Structure 1
Amino acid sequence: MSDLLSIGASGLRAYSRALSTIGDNIANAQTPGYARRSLELHQAQAGSNMMLYRGAVNPGGVDISGISRSVDAWLIEDSRISGSDAERSATRLAWLERVEGALSNETNGISTALTKLYTTADQLTADPNNQTLRAQFLQAVDDVASGFRTAAGRLSDMAQGVEASAAAVTDAFNTDLAALEEINIGLRKARPGSTNQASLLDERDRLIDKLSAAAGVTASFDDRGTVTLRASASGDLLVGGGTVNPIAVSAAADGRLSYTIGGAPIPIATGALAGLSQAADHVADQRAALDTMASDFATQLNAAHQAGFDKAGNPGVALFSGASAATLTANALNPDQVAVADGGSSNGNMLAFAAMRGAGGPEDRWSGHLATQAQATASARAQDAAANTRADAAYAARSAVSEVDIDREAADLLRFQQAYSAAARTIQVARETMQTLLNSL
């Protein structure tokens, strides 16, 4: 009877633990990073058995081997790689869309101002002494300069925003590195197969997912589950052997970003930090291009205006001053100083202005610049869509293994409830049988 009692007692312990595990699964069905757990059970060794000998009859009950997590290492790694690429493309796209907005006519009005300037010049060819048209011409010049300053200011703010975002992501990355080392410490102390170990492994994987999304990483594990983490592009050690090596970010004068570990440069090719670096490069390129266009535009229009003569017959003066988009300013002129005439006619200089509207002129160059930016944004959008599609597929494959299926848990819950009842009934039968034997004495 003692064997029957021990079998029933082992069943109660095992199935009670199994029901608790199912309860954890159901409670954490929507918890990010939670991997489904199952209780590993095996037949207990009977009391009459020895290590090298098993009797013909061995009713030994059931023992608990530990808790296992439903994970697939290859699927996890694939989801991290694709997720890191998706994070890079999404971050880059977000900033390219902001650049497109900063350069748009709705934001700075440069396209409208250029059209107004040349339209007014055309109208002055027909009515060169019209003071209202002369004033409108000067207003258009001021609007163009103001538009360039607005665009330059927006791009400058954007460069600072990218730098601030990179600093924030870097700080969070380093915080997660330190947290991951704390998880390593806990895993070295955790009992294999325990609930505590499973919880630590879930948190370990969640942290690696975050770190991979921020900057590509590669992970290797020992038999205790502790992780050694390295930067995927360079192989630099980030976490391992009790060491944590944080990364640092710095910005050049033009806003371009660079990353270091212990003062040594480290390439980051994927993740949010890579996307921010690419965005910073793009913003810096756009700022340089905007300065070049503003300078060329001012030089071209100043030369054209200075080639004519104003209402008093004096040579035209420069319309603009400033050597960059941020400093481009319309000089203070009065309507009489607009150089409409040339040496041969009262409207000849404005006719020359009209000739600047063709290919290679300021309007054409600005339209081409906006088209190039739009193409870059469209390309980034297509890349982002492809990266997100792949990441979603990889995550779905990973989730199919790790996620909690409520229907399955409900079936297991019923199965182990019945098993628990059976174990309890076994103890009851053993007690009743023992009592009957005792009563018969």
Structure 2
Amino acid sequence: MSDLLSIGYTGLRAYSKALSTVGDNIANAQTPGYARRRLDLGEVPSGTNMVLYRGNTSPGGVDIKGVVRSVDQWLINDARISSGDSERASAKLEWMNRVEGALSDDTNGLKTALTKLYTTADQLTADPSNPTLRAQFLQAASDIAAGFQTAASRLSSLSEGVSGAATAEVTQFNTNLDALEQINVGLRKARDGSTNQAALMDERDRLLDQLSSQAGVSATFDAHGAVTLRATGSGDLLVGGGVVTPIGMTTAADGRVSYTIGGSPFPNATGSLAGFAEASNHIADQRAGLDTMATQFAAQINTAHQAGVDANGNAGQPLFSGTSAATLTATSLTANQVAAANATGTNGNMLAFGAMRGVNDPEAKWSGHLATQAQATAAASAQNAAAMTRADGAAAARDSVSEVNLDNEAAELLRFQQAYSAAARIIQVSRETMQTLLSSL
């Protein structure tokens, strides 16, 4: 009877824990980072059996070996790699779209102002002494200077914005490193197969997911599940052996973002931090290109205007001053100071203006610049779409193993309920048999 009672008792204990585990799965079905758990059950070995000798049949019941998380490490690693690529593409695309907006005509009116300058010059060829057209010509020049200044200001703000976003991301990355080390401390103390260990591993994996989405990292695990984390590119230790090495960030004068670890460069080609760095490089290139275009435009237009003669017979003055897009300023001139004439006639210089219009004029160059930016943004959008598709597929494959399926849990709940009832019935039968035996004495 003692064997029968023992079998019933171990069954009640095991199936009670199994029901609790199923209930935990159901309760955490929507909890981010939670991996489905199951109870690992095994037969209690008989004390009368040995390797080379088997005695009488003596069932021992069921034993709880521990809580097991439903995970596939290969799928987890694949999901983290694809997530890092997706976050890099997404972070870059966001700022590429903002750059395109900063350069658009709706924002700065530069394309419209350039067209207006040449259109007014064409109109002045027919009526060079018209004061209204002369004033419109000067206004177009002023609008161009304002457009360059607006574009420069917007790009400068974007440069500061991406630097701020990268700084916040670095802070969060370092916070996650500290939290991961605390999880390591807990895992080294946790009992194998315990619910506490499973919860710590869930949090460990959630932190590793976040870190992988931020930068390229690689993880290895010891027998307790504690993680050693290194930078993928350089192999530098980030977390391990009680050591946490935070990363740093620097912003160059032109806004380019770079990262360091232990005072050395932190090479990183994936994650949101890589996306911010690439975006900062693109914005810096756009700012430099805008300055070059502004100075070249000013030099070209100033040379053309100074080649003419104004209404008072004086040589034409520069239309612009400044050494960058941000400092480009229209010269304060009166309508009579527009140099419409030259040695060939009263409209000769405006005719020369019209002849400038073509493949290499500022208007065409600016349109080409906008087209190049649009192409770069479209390419970034395509990369982002591909990376997202890849990440979604990897996440779905991972979830197929780790995600809680309520239908399956309901079936498990019914199965363990029946098993629990059966174990209780075993104890009842044991009790009734014992009473029958005792009453017969």
- Please indicate the TM-score interval, normalised by the length of the shorter structure: over 0.9
Amino acid at match of 1:3: D
Matches within 5 A, 1:221-236: 221-236=221-236
Q: What is the SS of the residue equivalent to 1:40?
A: strand
Once the two structures are aligned, what percentage of the paired residues are identical? 69
Point out where structure 2 has 5 or more consecutive residues left out of the alignment.
none
The size of the alignment, in residue pairs, is 441
Deviates more, 1:261-270 or 1:291-300: 261-270
**1:86-135 CA distance string (max 9 Å, x none):** 11011111111110110000000000001111111110110111111111
Q: Which residue of 2 aligns with 1:208?
A: 208
Number of the residue aligned with 1:158: 158
Distance 1:348 1:56 in 2: 120
SS at the partner of 2:324? Answer: coil
**Which residue does 1:25 correspond to in 2?**
25
Which whole-Å CA distance do the structure 1 matches of 2:52 and 2:167 have between them?
A: 63
3-state SS of paired residue (1:346): coil
Q: Report which stretch shifted further, 155-164 or 45-54.
A: 45-54
The 2-side partners of 1:53 and 1:162 are apart by: 74
Deviation of the 1:45 alpha carbon: 2.1
* Cα distance in 2 for residues equivalent to 1:22 and 1:72: 20
Q: How does 1:156-195 map to 2 (within 5 A)?
A: 156-195=156-195
Match of 1:284 in 2: 284
Give yes or no for contact 2:8–2:426 (8 Å, CA) kept in 1: yes
Distance 2:75 2:356 in 1: 60
- Asked if 2 retains the 8 angstrom alpha-carbon contact of 1:19 and 1:413, the reply is yes
Letter in 2 for 1:57: T
SS at match of 2:315: coil
Matched to 1:351, the amino acid is: L
- Superposition RMSD in Å: 1.0
Contact 1:340–1:350 (Cα < 8 Å) also in 2? yes
> For residues 282 and 406 of structure 1, what CA distance do their matches in structure 2 show?
47
More deviation, 367-376/47-56: 47-56
Counterpart for residue 412 of structure 1: 412
- DSSP-derived class of the 1:171 partner: helix
1:384 match: secondary structure = helix
Distance in structure 2 (CA, Å) of the matches to 1:308 and 1:27: 82
Quick check: 2:48–2:56 contact (8 Å CA) kept in 1?
A: no
Q: Does 1:117 align with 2:106?
A: no
- In the other structure, the counterpart of 1:66 is 66
Matches of 1:54 and 1:265, distance apart in 2: 66
Matching of residues 8-407 of structure 1 within 5 Å: 8-49=8-49, 54-407=54-407
| Preserved contact between residue 216 and residue 270 of structure 1 (Cα < 8 Å) | yes
CA contact (8 A) 1:356 1:362 kept: no
Whole-Å Cα distance in 2 between the matches of residues 84 and 25 of structure 1?
Answer: 28
Q: Which amino acid aligns with 1:305?
A: H
| Contact map agreement 2:310 2:341 (CA 8 A) in 1 | yes
Tell me if structure 1 keeps the 8 A contact 2:321–2:330.
yes
How far, CA to CA, are the matches of 1:231 and 1:103 in structure 2? 36
Deviation at 1:55, TM superposition (A): 2.7
1:153–1:326 CA contact under 8 A, matched in 2 = yes
User: Once the two structures are superposed, what CA deviation does each residue of 1:384-440 show, in whole Å capped at 9, x if it has no partner?
Assistant: 111111111111111111111111111110000000000001111111111122222
Distance 1:277 1:420 in 2: 58
Contact 1:93 1:384 in 2 (8 A): yes
CA distance in 1 between counterparts of 2:222 and 2:48 reads 38
Q: Which structure 1 residue ranges, 5 or more long, are not aligned?
A: none
Q: SS of the counterpart of 1:324?
A: coil
CA shift in 2, pair 1:158/1:293, >3 Å = same
- Distance, in Å, in 2 between the alignment partners of 1:17 and 1:247 is 43
Distance in 2 between the 1:80 and 1:179 partners? 18
TM-score, normalised relative to structure 1: 0.99
Asked if 1 retains the 8 angstrom alpha-carbon contact of 2:297 and 2:362, the reply is yes
SS at match of 2:88: helix
**CA gap 1:54/1:24 in 2 versus in 1, 3 angstroms:** farther
Aligned partner letter, 2:246: P
Q: CA deviation at 1:59?
A: 1.3
Mapped contact 2:93–2:384 kept (Cα < 8 A)? yes
Structure 2 counterpart SS, 1:248: strand
Q: Normalising by the residue count of structure 2, what TM-score does the alignment of the two structures yield? A: 0.99
Q: Would the aligned equivalents of 2:22 and 2:409 in 1 still touch at CA under 8 Å?
A: yes
- Partner SS for 1:220: strand
Residue 171 of structure 1 and its aligned partner are, at CA, apart by 0.2
Deviations 1:215-246 (A, max 9, x none): 01000111110100001111111000110000
Of stretches 427-436 and 11-20 in structure 1, the one that deviates more from structure 2 is 427-436
Q: Distance in 1 between matches of 2:332 and 2:151?
A: 22
The Cα shift of 1:2 comes to 1.4
For 1:267 and 1:41, the matched residues in 2 are separated by 46
Cα distance in 2 for residues equivalent to 1:33 and 1:51: 44
One-letter identity of the residue aligned with 2:365: R
Asked if the contact 1:46/1:61 (under 8 Å) is kept, the reply is no
Q: Equivalent residue for 2:423?
A: 423
- Secondary structure class of the residue paired with 2:326: coil
The answer to whether the 8 A contact 2:318-2:331 is kept is: yes
Rounded Cα–Cα distance in structure 1 between residues aligned with 2:65 and 2:161: 53
Question: Counterparts of 2:51 and 2:227 in 1: how far apart (Å)?
Answer: 36
